[in-house]
Chain A
Amino acid sequence: MRFEMREMRNSGGKRTSMKPNTQAATGGQRKSASRSEPLGVNTEIGRKLKQYYDELVSEDVPDKFADLLKQLEDRETPSSTSNEGN
């Protein structure tokens, strides 16, 4: 298969990139580092993303959520002993 890259004409005669076959063959390896962890801690975006999220996760949780779950739990077992008057 012959490579006919038309863009080559416009690239100002730079010939260094004219080895598409070997590039294609090894390209996967070259990229694998960034591809396997595109948002890893050694990327700026990856770091900021974690910083942004960790800040949210570590916020104090208002009591209303625990209260809500308590209510839901109590609702589940209405025949509780507390109401056994007689």
Chain B
Amino acid sequence: MGDPSIFKNDLLGAIPSLRAFAMSLAQNADKADDLVQETLVKAWDKQASFQPGTNLKAWVFTILRNEFYSQMRKRGREVQDSDGLITARLAVHPSQLGSMDLNDFRGALETLPEDQREAIILIGASGFSYEEAAEICDCAVGTIKSRVSRARTRLQELLNVSGESDYGPDAISAQVMGSNAA
């Protein structure tokens, strides 16, 4: 329930974030915009199930994510095909210390499995808490934590970023290996 025009304005306000999240997932501007449009239609149709006062952004992110995975299942995972290429490009174009380019980063991010990519985006960029991210991704908080850790470790490897802190990536990867050896 609630005022449809308020709901509409809130949805409008969420569009920039939705598009960013869609781009992070789909890696393609056209697909991302399709995803966002589909999400808006679904959100509108389901607005009765949204509880005013709760986090609308998390709610629409959940819808978008579900839409992304159902589209991907229909399309048969064509998304992953470019992995090899990107990895190769990174291999011959290692970033120099301290001069990591945003394109390098983008390329490295693309090589992550979707579950890790979405986790690190939700936590490290979209500003969600681990609890919110777990709800969006329909999994346990611990699962989100280990995905973020693995994503971070993988990005550091791909981008030749050595110790981020005094302790280096090992502090995180050791945690992951210890609690969730997968």
A30 and B167 form a contact (CB under 8 A): yes
Seed contacts A38-B149, A53-B126; 5 additional CB < 8 Å A-B pairs: A35-B175, A43-B164, A49-B120, A54-B125, A56-B19
The B125-178 residues at the A interface (CB cut-off 8 A) are 125-126, 148-149, 152, 155-156, 159, 161, 164-167, 171-172, 175
Distance A64 CA – B36 CA, assembled complex (angstroms) = 11
- Name which of A5-13, A14-22, A65-73 contacts chain B: A65-73
B15 and A61 form a contact (CB under 8 A): yes
CB neighbours of A48 from chain B (8 A): 100, 102, 105
A72 and B37 form a contact (CB under 8 A): no
CB neighbours of B16 from chain A (8 A): 57-59, 61
Name B's interface SS: helix
- Name which of B5-13, B66-74, B82-90 contacts chain A: B5-13
Which residue on chain A has the smallest CB distance to residue B44?
A72
Q: Mark B9-52, 1 if CB is under 8 A from A, else 0.
A: 00110011101100110000000010011001100100000000
**Distance (Å) between the CB of A71 and the closest chain B CB?**
9
CB neighbours of A38 from chain B (8 A): 148-149, 152, 172
Distance A13 CA – B86 CA, assembled complex (angstroms) = 42
Number of interface residues of A (CB under 8 A): 34
Name A's interface SS: helix
Q: How large is the interface on B (under 10, 10 to 19, 20 to 34, 35 or more residues)?
A: 35 or more
CB neighbours of B41 from chain A (8 A): 68, 72
- Decide if B113 is an interface residue (CB 8 Å cutoff): no
B102 and A39 form a contact (CB under 8 A): no
Which residue on chain A has the smallest CB distance to residue B16?
A57
**Distance (Å) between the CB of A42 and the closest chain B CB?**
8
With beta carbons under 8 angstroms apart, the residue of A50, A58, A65 that contacts B124 is A50
CB neighbours of A65 from chain B (8 A): 12, 15, 36-37, 40
B148 and A72 form a contact (CB under 8 A): no
Which residue on chain B has the smallest CB distance to residue A46?
B124
